[in-house]
Structure 1
Amino acid sequence: MDNRRNLFFYYPQEDELESQLKPLFELAKKNRFNLVEDPKEANIIISVGGDGNFLQVVRKTGFRQDCLYMGISRSNEAGLYCDFSLDNYDEMVNAIMSEELEVRRFPIIDVNINGEATFQCLNEASIRSTIIKTIVIDVFIDDNHFERFRGDGLIVATPTGSTGYNKSTHGAVIDPKIPCFQISEIASINNNRYRTLGSSFVLDKERKLKLEVLQDGNDYPIVGLDNEAYSIRNIKDLTITLSDKIVKTVKLKNNSYWDRVKRTFL
């Protein structure tokens, strides 16, 4: 068995989707690809079902550095991580066979909580209040105090995550070729008593961001890591840096990140 041609498919277990995927499975086998049931055996991991599913499979497989990820969207789903459509699987297999593909490398962030556990994020990390009360966070850049934030929360987005939650809070859309991360505010309070920058800002890959939560009764905030949410007791701080890891995805040569941004938003 040629391990370089091992495919693992990750998708919702739905009867209609299963029937749609059968021709793709047969076409892959016909072209000498091996379908494996364990993602650890795959060198190409394929997500079917839009960006949410793509984020989920990257997380569930541990942000693997020794394989490629591929996204396939369905007609009713958004897919900024998905270069391929389930409606055109012939085109997808032909592109693979004729090598009309390139590898895209997406930066990710490391999120350390309370100096104990570290998580990776491909899209964004967020910290938000869970009660009808503002959360107060001291923001440090490279251990230097920058501001005291008071509001609903903060978002720390990767370049690819800049088009999601971050964009909805008026953050900038960033080219994923730039190794950086962006911090955006969620409903900050700005008046004569409280003052923040009031806009998103971008940090270089060498910077370290630390968010210290003031323990004033809002001690159970929600921490979002991509599309998963955690309520962690007594969160004291989050330390966020750009990771040494990347996520390698398969892309069509004629389909750039900005092509997909244009199709999605314009």
Structure 2
Amino acid sequence: MKNRIITIHTNDTPVSLKTKRLLAKKLEGSGFIVSESLEGDSELIVCIGGDGTFLEGIHKFDFPKIPFIGINTGHLGFFQEINPNQLADFIFHYKTGKYRLQALSTVKATVINDNDECFEHIGLNEIVIRGELSHPVHLNISIGGSFIERFSGDGILVATPAGSTAYNYSLGGSIVDPRLKLMQVTPIAPMDTTAYRSFTSSILLPCDLSLGVIPEYVTKHGIKITTDHLEYNYNDIRHINVEFSDKVVNLLRFENYDFWTKVKSKFL
């Protein structure tokens, strides 16, 4: 019989570590092998913590094809599917196949510097382009190869539908049903004066269009690119291209999951 391996990723809070020990005991009692690393034949990744721990696990394991499920021991827990008191129910539903997979799109930023070096960054929630040390930036923005505007402000955020309820929502962006495949470009503290004219509301783009960004270096400060929780600083960017990635994150969802019910319970 093939070994059934489940990988567990957790933060180091006492409640998460306690939940991890209890879950590992229950899984092993149900015939599973528990691992903290991503074995070649792991069939599921369980993230114990909050949304930050969930995103950390996705990046740690480099957006694998195998599905994730979250156990919420944090605060908001929007991605997390179950609570620590539902471990037995989770194992039963998983073993009996009473679940479905929710495929979440990701967004990719390709950065080209003055030396023609190329760097790629992928985010499940969003990619943020802003100035270092909170300095304002001037960004020449194009959509599908057509110039749109010279944006001035703190920066821009490009969110996936999954990330529309995160930082994007705090900036006044729209909540988007994850069944829609689109990118949302939301300005961060845009300047809209007689000297600087910038869009002040979100822009929605279909999945086949890309966003081009060319920074203007009017000061010595560089550009910071953030993908979910990870930060990268550049001082010599020639061009940034933001588009949908071909990587997909599969979330395990039980039969009673509904996106808008989740939104209501977490935000209203």
TM over 0.5: yes
In structure 2, the residue matched to 1:121 is: 123
Tell me if 1:20 matches 2:22: no
In structure 1, the residue matched to 2:99 is: 101
Between the aligned partners of 2:135 and 2:243, the Cα distance in structure 1 is 28
1:135 to 124, 134, 137: 137
Between the aligned partners of 1:219 and 1:121, the Cα distance in structure 2 is 24
Contact 2:142 2:211 in 1 (8 A): yes
Between the aligned partners of 1:207 and 1:85, the Cα distance in structure 2 is 38
Contact 1:131 1:218 in 2 (8 A): no
Between the aligned partners of 1:238 and 1:166, the Cα distance in structure 2 is 20
In structure 1, the residue matched to 2:240 is: 238
1:92 to 90, 97, 104: 90
In structure 1, the residue matched to 2:28 is: 29
SS at match of 2:39: helix
Aligned-pair distance for 1:218?
5.2
Q: Please list the CA deviations of residues 43-78 of structure 1 after superposition, one character each: whole Å capped at 9, or x if unmatched.
A: 21111001101111111111112x11111111x422
Tell me if 1:73 matches 2:72: yes
User: Which residues of structure 1 form unaligned runs of 5+?
Assistant: none
Between the aligned partners of 1:79 and 1:253, the Cα distance in structure 2 is 18
In structure 1, the residue matched to 2:179 is: 177
- CA change 1:218–1:238 in 2 (3 A) is farther
- CA change 1:132–1:55 in 2 (3 A) is closer
SS at match of 1:84: coil
Contact 1:224 1:230 in 2 (8 A): yes
SS at match of 2:132: coil
Contact 1:105 1:246 in 2 (8 A): yes
Aligned-pair distance for 1:108?
0.4
Contact 1:108 1:120 in 2 (8 A): yes
User: Which residues of structure 2 form unaligned runs of 5+?
Assistant: none
- Percent of matched pairs sharing the same residue: 25
Contact 1:135 1:218 in 2 (8 A): no
CA RMSD of aligned residues (A): 1.7
Aligned positions of 1:22-61 closer than 5 A = 22-41=21-40, 42-61=42-61
Structure 1 runs, 4 residues or longer, greater than 3 Å off: 13-17
Between the aligned partners of 1:148 and 1:43, the Cα distance in structure 2 is 47
Aligned-pair distance for 1:236?
3.0
TM-score (norm 1): 0.93
1:153 to 142, 155, 159: 155
Contact 2:132 2:221 in 1 (8 A): no
Contact 2:190 2:198 in 1 (8 A): yes
Aligned-pair distance for 1:80?
1.4
In structure 1, the residue matched to 2:202 is: 200
Aligned-pair distance for 1:89?
1.1
In structure 2, the residue matched to 1:188 is: 190
Aligned-pair distance for 1:193?
2.4
Between the aligned partners of 1:95 and 1:128, the Cα distance in structure 2 is 43
Between the aligned partners of 1:7 and 1:192, the Cα distance in structure 2 is 58
9-18 or 110-119: bigger deviation:
9-18
Between the aligned partners of 1:40 and 1:157, the Cα distance in structure 2 is 31
In structure 2, the residue matched to 1:6 is: 5
Between the aligned partners of 1:32 and 1:131, the Cα distance in structure 2 is 51
